[in-house]
Amino acid sequence: MLSKNQLKYIQSLHQKKYRQQYGAFLVEGAKSVQEVLQSDFQIELVVATEAFYKENARLTDHQRTPVEIASVGDLERAGTLESNNAALAVVKTKENRPLLAEPGEIALILDDIRDPGNLGTILRIADWYGVRKILCSETTADVYNPKVISASKGSFTRVQWWYGNVVEVLNQKNTPLAVYGAFLGGEDVHTLAFSQSGYLVMGNESNGIRPEVAQFVTQRVTIPRYGDAESLNVGIATAVLLDNIRRVNAGQ
Amino acid sequence: MLSKNQLKYIQSLHQKKYRQQYGAFLVEGAKSVQEVLQSDFQIELVVATEAFYKENARLTDHQRTPVEIASVGDLERAGTLESNNAALAVVKTKENRPLLAEPGEIALILDDIRDPGNLGTILRIADWYGVRKILCSETTADVYNPKVISASKGSFTRVQWWYGNVVEVLNQKNTPLAVYGAFLGGEDVHTLAFSQSGYLVMGNESNGIRPEVAQFVTQRVTIPRYGDAESLNVGIATAVLLDNIRRVNAGQ
């Protein structure tokens, strides 16, 4: 049974302010909770229906994770999902450790990606294409937002992120790694020979990459258009760019 | 001013049943309304704020489109968007005319794409990659759903669709066009030489392409994975596949 205080605490984690204050966030739904229980995240509490608990007891018992059994109604009251008949987990946030691309590695830089759904999708795409490091400008959506976690479909357990001043990172970088940036009027990604090391910068949904970041882009790249749509969604563009980067590498 | 009957009529178009009964659908928001006013769709009525009307009068006056001036509150009450300070249009649906891929053309077949957001995104992607024809199984989300129209970002004015028995279409097709289908374990799209003519079949979000459709697929294709995510969203996969199809053609 969830106590009133537990319910209040969990509900407070819908808001960034309280996630930061308590250093915890929510993971919701059967699949995501199963994935986080098998990851290196530290779990504070699992709230589960009896059915979910019985089916997944080995995952919680193994780590001696505290579990509260709750009704579907209580689960939905506590969490943010419209329907959740399985479980939610209260999980400790990770330390905000600096990340840099190593030679032989592509890292993502997200410059002011505002939409949580887009950020979650980008985590999933990074995970598909084997990108493990995501550097986020402070204005990028909070990765611990329940919508981000949910849209990432479990990929939040397999990629790392850092929030901070990406301009400074690019300014201080003294390695000769490539910095690719998505722009209109850049080099055609179908013919460009991509390096296997460096950064791919994706910009804000409406305004693109900020000038202070753009000055560090060593190669502007563009997805060629064959029809008339004005633009592609930033998640779609990230996937197509990473596919082109990996494709070129595959041929080498 | 919107009359009570107008308001009731517009609200009824949130539902598929009434869209079919009245042969009309809703287009909402400044950008989409501007685009539909410049398309070949027949407009029944535009409901606009005074500001939007003044700025766009040349678009409505040109076609002698009936316009009702409304407050933002009335607009939002009538439509489905959480915020809309510009306009909505009531637009006639088009006749459901059969579509076939011609030689030299790639057409999409959507086999049971259920999520309106995914369908809208696919319309936008098709428009970007110059795909003009989309054949939808009867179980695919209704393209006239306001969420589809909105997610398509105006691309619904530039692509054509048909709903019907896609199995029959594939069965009756006597031209030797390729039928590509997205599957796990298919040919690597980074090395496959795509034809410039044929169909690309995308399947249901959870279950993929149905067996009765799969039997007509002449070439199974797969996006190679470099990391650990279980899958890509169907919109993302459509974009990456079309990018690979166009990319190959670009090189020829």
Distance CA A58, CA B250 (A): 52
Interface test with A, best of B115, B119, B236 (most A CBs within 10 A): B236
Per-residue pLDDT for A153 more than 70? Answer: yes
Distance CA A172, CA B191 (A): 38
> What is the ipTM, given to two decimal places?
0.94
Question: Which residues make up the CATH 3.40.1280.10 domain(s) of chain B?
Answer: 106-251
> Quick one: pLDDT at residue B247?
87
Per-residue pLDDT for B251 more than 80? Answer: no
Nearest Cα to Cα of residue A220 among A176, A169, A179: A179
φ/ψ of residue B100, rounded to 5: -135, 150
Fold of B106-251: Alpha/beta knot (3.40.1280)
Distance CA A26, CA A149 (A): 8
CA B21 to chain A, closest CA, distance in angstroms equals 30
CATH of domain B4-92: 3.30.1330.30
CA-based R_g, chain B, Å: 20
**A87-92 and A24-28 strand pairing:** antiparallel
Q: Which two tokens stand for residue A15?
A: 């808001």
Overall average pLDDT of the A153-172 stretch: 96
CA B119 to chain A, closest CA, distance in angstroms equals 14
| Separation in Å, CA B229 to CA A25, A145, A156, B98 | 21, 20, 10, 37
Task: Please judge whether B224 and A131 are an interchain contact, meaning their C-beta atoms are less than 8 angstroms apart.
Answer: no
Q: Label residue A225 exposed, middle or buried (CB < 10 Å: 0-12, 13-18, 19+).
A: middle
Instruction: Identify all chain B residues contacting A232, using CB atoms and an 8 Å cutoff.
Output: 124-125, 128, 239
Overall average pLDDT of the B202-210 stretch: 95
Per-residue pLDDT for B135 more than 50? Answer: yes
Overall average pLDDT of the B212-233 stretch: 96
Overall average pLDDT of the A88-102 stretch: 96
Per-residue pLDDT for A115 more than 50? Answer: yes
Nearest Cα to Cα of residue A191 among B250, B34, B54: B250
> Quick one: pLDDT at residue B249?
53
Nearest Cα to Cα of residue A124 among B52, B156, B225, B39: B225
Overall average pLDDT of the B125-148 stretch: 98
Distance CA B19, CA A76 (A): 33
Q: Please, which pLDDT band fits residue B245 given cuts at 50, 70 and 90? A: very high
Per-residue pLDDT for B221 more than 90? Answer: yes
Task: Please judge whether A129 and B250 are an interchain contact, meaning their C-beta atoms are less than 8 angstroms apart.
Answer: no
What value does the mean pLDDT of chain B take? 94
Distance CA B167, CA B171 (A): 6
**Closest Cβ–Cβ partner in B128, B228, B235 for A229:** B128
> Quick one: pLDDT at residue B63?
76
Per-residue pLDDT for B124 more than 80? Answer: yes
Q: Minimal Cα distance from A231: which residue of B?
A: B128
Q: Label residue A130 exposed, middle or buried (CB < 10 Å: 0-12, 13-18, 19+).
A: middle
Tell me which H or E stretch contains A27: strand A24-28
Overall average pLDDT of the A39-48 stretch: 96
Question: Which residues make up the CATH 3.30.1330.30 domain(s) of chain B?
Answer: 4-92
> Quick one: pLDDT at residue A249?
53
Q: Which two tokens stand for residue A61?
A: 């018992």
> Quick one: pLDDT at residue B252?
40
> Quick one: pLDDT at residue A194?
94
Q: For residue A47, what is the DSSP state? A: E
Per-residue pLDDT for B203 more than 90? Answer: yes
